Structure 1
């Protein structure tokens, strides 16, 4: 019923402007936390904590992840209840920007943690409703292309991270951090503002379904595909989280002389290549109306890349395996995000349900350290990669078992 509403000529004319504005907004929101958590925050913690930086950063990261997980669900649910997304995104953007600008004012680690937790909550007031907004307005015929456009977000986040860490923005301890977070806040606002100004004001996909649900509250919903999509992403995210945390150590294990700048360039090139590849695969999935096959194939390619990395006889083959892994992973995560919107059974609970899906991004961070500590010291990275490849194969099988179109 919702699809019929979105198939109207007016909706068709508005599809692409919304898709492009949405992709820019999502990339901006991603840039809001990526460079801060991976680059700027560790440097600030080092300034304040000195030799104790590592345990403080671990504590801060854990508390921030818990805050992000819970508030993403809460704000998504709140936007479901009110029936509007724009206001939540706008208020969250104002609060997140203000708290981001306030971070340099924290001169103690407990104060920094308190501000970070508040900032995480405000940022997820943007992310939770923003994720659901796409489900409200993007019809199934564009879910693949939407996923392809979302692949732009990691590449944009990396570019923003490189920009805000330029030496020209360094003004000494504290001052440099303040300048960089101010630039970061400005980039985020400018990225999200077009969607707030020109995006649709209503939730056209929701009203008909809400009405149907109200008249038949006990009607069954297709939860099987939802569970399989959730578990498949969790299994694949285990591999992504592991490589994100330990990739530098693996690079050094195959070439002890590899410079960090070389590692960054390899990762950046692969992220850039993933954007057109994700768009092509997403467009194919939309044209053929076969959303699960590309995801299953990509999960299998993730597994193949990990097997090559585990068994590679030398550096060249290992890097080729990593290239296959990284490309397949980036495209998988982007397309999965788009196709998840296809299987959620209740548009009136879309924000809350997407918050639950967001747990697949945070739960692996709690599992990965124990997995790595248990395998790498005694059996090496090869054993770890083979375990992760098994997880990816299971994810591929789960996706192939989905029959809903």
Structure 2
């Protein structure tokens, strides 16, 4: 069997119908746990462990900030490519276990192995390779998890399901940060994140069967068409284009806030225990996010509207980000973290529902959501490129957070250009 024969083209699969039967609490809980486990694998390293390794491996003449920027940027490039690729491959997978489940399993297992490899890194090169492998594998799992939502969830339920996924994402960030902080060293932190990542996906893949699509007799697979499918013209799909840009800019603003948070507390606020400070701010942010993420999704589903929630939450996040620039104290950081959580909670659930509402074709959900998920990866590339010169040469943390606020504000306003969704 050739490589081409192992993939079934999306065009050769029966066009999936829009789901009509609401999903139950058990399915939502299991998928949310799987989503949170993936974020543990990402954010234990991003919040704490990579920053500690950057200090350890920084060569003479290169700052820890620059090392961290290069490593996270390289990983983000891998993520940018991997998510739509694995989403497209899952669209074409016809295994007995369905389209999405095989990639959730393979991605989580590969991610755990890559985290263990990263924990054993003894050089900057090994650190960079390990992080790129983590991004490659966990994005395979993440692409499949997110595609399961439009596969199985009716449109009128996607706000609340998106809310639970967002809550799990936040809990994953908190759990990853906590594991990295209390595990007792860099290697132990990576091992703890690896174990959690595997354990978290098991309930979903064991308890819930992924429907297997039935191939139809249509055109054979062609690599040229497969590659061409990754371009979604903003001119042909303007609503998707504006929604994509909104999400990218708000996620870029958030990435600029998080990237140097440990260094901001240590070098900007001179916090006595910056590692613990990151954990406290993450917990405060998480508490307020949890208070709004599901409520925002439920409210949006009941009103049938998405754009006002995205606009309002984006404006609130921009205000909170500006606080970090003008109120540079530990109490100011706590207040900003709380307000950011409120805004990001509503944004996370409702924007996800909005994105699923503007997808062009049901047969390409995995690939198209992979392109949407670039808005999670691309900010990790752009943020270091913007943040490093801002902090080092162009005004320090005050300039960094003012820039982040302006970017988030622009993203919030642009959602008004979406026409096909209220």
Query: Which TM-score band applies after superposition, normalised by the shorter structure?
Result: 0.7 to 0.9
Instruction: Determine the C-alpha separation between the residues in 2 that align with 1:379 and 1:190.
Output: 44
Instruction: Determine the C-alpha separation between the residues in 2 that align with 1:373 and 1:60.
Output: 13
Aligned pair 1:202/2:211, yes or no?
yes
Aligned pair 1:346/2:361, yes or no?
yes
Aligned pair 1:72/2:83, yes or no?
yes
Deviation at 1:351, TM superposition (A): 1.7
Relative distance call for 1:246 and 1:44 in structure 2 (3 A) is closer
Equivalent residues of 1:309, 1:322 under 8 A apart: no
User: Residue 309 of structure 2 corresponds to which residue in structure 1?
Assistant: 294
User: Residue 275 of structure 1 corresponds to which residue in structure 2?
Assistant: 290
Instruction: Determine the C-alpha separation between the residues in 2 that align with 1:95 and 1:315.
Output: 39
Instruction: Determine the C-alpha separation between the residues in 2 that align with 1:58 and 1:374.
Output: 11
Equivalent residues of 1:151, 1:334 under 8 A apart: yes
| Unmatched 5+ stretches in structure 2 | 1-14, 219-228
Aligned residues: 385
Instruction: Determine the C-alpha separation between the residues in 1 that align with 2:242 and 2:381.
Output: 21
Instruction: Determine the C-alpha separation between the residues in 2 that align with 1:47 and 1:390.
Output: 34
Q: Deviations over 1:276-314 (max 9, x none)?
A: 311111100001111222111111212333455555598
Relative distance call for 1:391 and 1:108 in structure 2 (3 A) is closer
Moved more, 364-373 or 222-231: 364-373
Equivalent residues of 1:149, 1:275 under 8 A apart: no
TM-score normalized by the length of structure 2:
0.78
User: Residue 420 of structure 2 corresponds to which residue in structure 1?
Assistant: 404
Deviation at 1:194, TM superposition (A): 0.8
User: Residue 72 of structure 2 corresponds to which residue in structure 1?
Assistant: 61
Q: SS of the counterpart of 2:419?
A: coil
Q: Deviations over 1:235-269 (max 9, x none)?
A: 21222111112445655788555642345313311
Instruction: Determine the C-alpha separation between the residues in 2 that align with 1:41 and 1:389.
Output: 25
Equivalent residues of 1:309, 1:319 under 8 A apart: no
Aligned partner of 1:185 among 181, 184, 194: 194
Deviation at 1:64, TM superposition (A): 1.7
Q: SS of the counterpart of 1:403?
A: coil
Instruction: Determine the C-alpha separation between the residues in 2 that align with 1:287 and 1:38.
Output: 35
TM-score normalized by the length of structure 1:
0.81
Aligned pair 1:161/2:177, yes or no?
yes
Relative distance call for 1:345 and 1:312 in structure 2 (3 A) is same
Instruction: Determine the C-alpha separation between the residues in 2 that align with 1:251 and 1:110.
Output: 27
Instruction: Determine the C-alpha separation between the residues in 2 that align with 1:102 and 1:351.
Output: 28
Relative distance call for 1:287 and 1:72 in structure 2 (3 A) is same
Instruction: Determine the C-alpha separation between the residues in 2 that align with 1:257 and 1:96.
Output: 33
Deviation at 1:224, TM superposition (A): 1.7
User: Residue 15 of structure 1 corresponds to which residue in structure 2?
Assistant: 24
Instruction: Determine the C-alpha separation between the residues in 2 that align with 1:200 and 1:221.
Output: 38
Q: Within 5 Å, which residues of 2 pair with 1:19-38?
A: 19-38=28-47
Q: SS of the counterpart of 1:82?
A: coil
Moved more, 73-82 or 368-377: 368-377
Instruction: Determine the C-alpha separation between the residues in 2 that align with 1:131 and 1:282.
Output: 16
User: Residue 228 of structure 1 corresponds to which residue in structure 2?
Assistant: 242
| Unmatched 5+ stretches in structure 1 | 171-175, 211-216
User: Residue 4 of structure 2 corresponds to which residue in structure 1?
Assistant: none
Q: Deviations over 1:364-403 (max 9, x none)?
A: 3343345446656555655554444343333233222323
Q: SS of the counterpart of 1:345?
A: coil
Instruction: Determine the C-alpha separation between the residues in 2 that align with 1:254 and 1:59.
Output: 22
Moved more, 54-63 or 282-291: 54-63
User: Residue 393 of structure 1 corresponds to which residue in structure 2?
Assistant: 409
User: Residue 371 of structure 2 corresponds to which residue in structure 1?
Assistant: 356
Q: Within 5 Å, which residues of 2 pair with 1:100-111?
A: 100-111=115-126
Relative distance call for 1:179 and 1:73 in structure 2 (3 A) is same
Instruction: Determine the C-alpha separation between the residues in 1 that align with 2:307 and 2:190.
Output: 39
Which is helix-richer, 1 or 2? Answer: 1
Relative distance call for 1:203 and 1:383 in structure 2 (3 A) is farther
Q: SS of the counterpart of 1:151?
A: helix
Moved more, 180-189 or 301-310: 301-310
Instruction: Determine the C-alpha separation between the residues in 2 that align with 1:375 and 1:114.
Output: 27
